Amino acid sequence: MQTVQFGEGSSSYIVSQDGGIVYGPTMEAGHKIFVRAAGESRTATIKENDQEMLSTARTMDTSDWTLLGNIPVSSLVKDAKAISNLTWLMSLLAGL
């Protein structure tokens, strides 16, 4: 899991059924994550450290553990913003 990267600022966890972190970047003793998606796949937008994140969770078929991945929405849309800006620029230049 250490090599799994969704982008800058992303994080991934393996969470037990009681919310305890089995594996993840925050491995403090007793630290728990609330996973509302236990037993099913879920995707939601959450706020983490004042940053909007796309969070997805899926319970493993082979155990009661849940795989949880978070990625900043800003990193998902940054390329779309560059394309939008380029499109506007080209439209303005074509209009001259």
The CATH code of the domain that includes 64 is 3.30.450.20
Total structural domains in the chain? 1
Asked, for residue 51, whether it belongs to a domain, the answer is yes
Residue 93: strand, helix, or coil: helix
Asked, for residue 23, whether it belongs to a domain, the answer is yes
- The residue segments making up the domain with residue 26 are 11-95
β-partners of residue 32 are 20
Residue 66: strand, helix, or coil: strand
Confidence of residue 21 (pLDDT cuts 50, 70, 90): confident
Cβ neighbours for 26, distance < 8 A, ≥ 6 positions apart: none
Whole-structure pTM value: 0.64
Confidence of residue 30 (pLDDT cuts 50, 70, 90): low
Question: What sign does the dihedral 37-40-44-50 (CA atoms) show?
Answer: positive
Measured at the CA of 57, the angle between CA 52 and CA 62, to 5 degrees, comes to 165
The tens digit of pLDDT for each residue in 50-96 reads 889 888 888 888 888 888 888 998 888 878 878 888 898 999 888 87
